[in-house]
Amino acid sequence: MDIAERLRQLREAKKLSQGDIERRTGLLRCYISRVENAHTVPSIETLEKISRALKVPMYQLFYDGQELPEVPLFSDNGKEDWATQRKGHILFMKLRSALSRTSARERSLLLQLATKMACANRKTRR
């Protein structure tokens, strides 16, 4: 899958110009051109901006099929992940919402705290 070609296909299918994408994303038109011509590799953040500008889910930038791809099951034991079950999903969505409102400094502090808790948990299991 050539991401550059896929971005151009999606943009043209929506009848948008590179200038339209520039206005919707804040990215320079020359940068968008460089991405579409495979002269530069966009970051995930840039791809998120472009997918929002194109009003398509991000997976469509990588997947060119007509139907949704099958969601893989990542659990080692064959059971569903906790975040896909009802209570876990609700908790995950609340956590995601709360983290989106925190500053970078607060997120860093939470990550350090979680790391220390995980290390302490490993030590008690031994």
Site of tokens 């919707």: 24
pLDDT for the residue numbered 60: 84
Same domain, 55 and 94: no
Residues 43 and 86 in one domain: no
In this predicted structure, what is the pLDDT of residue 116? 85
Q: How many CB atoms lie within 10 A of CB 89?
A: 13
- Core vs surface per residue 3-22: b (16+ CB within 10 A) or e: ebebbbebbeeeebebebbb
Length of the chain: 126
Query: Does any domain span residue 75?
Result: no
> What's the CA gap between 26 and 21, in Å, rounded?
8
The answer to whether residues 21 and 50 belong to one domain is yes
Note whether residue 76 is domain-resident.
Answer: no
What is the reported pLDDT for 69? Answer: 61
pLDDT given at position 76 = 52
Domain with 117 in it:
82-125
Query: How much is the pLDDT for 12?
Result: 93
50 in the same domain as 15: yes
What's the structural domain count of the chain?
2
Residue 72 placed within a domain: no
pLDDT averages per 10-residue partition of the chain, 126 residues: 86 93 94 94 91 88 70 54 68 81 87 83 66
CB-count exposure of residue 54 (10 Å: 0-12, 13-18, 19+): buried
Report the pLDDT value the prediction gives residue 115, as an integer from 0 to 100: 86
Does pTM surpass 0.75?
A: no
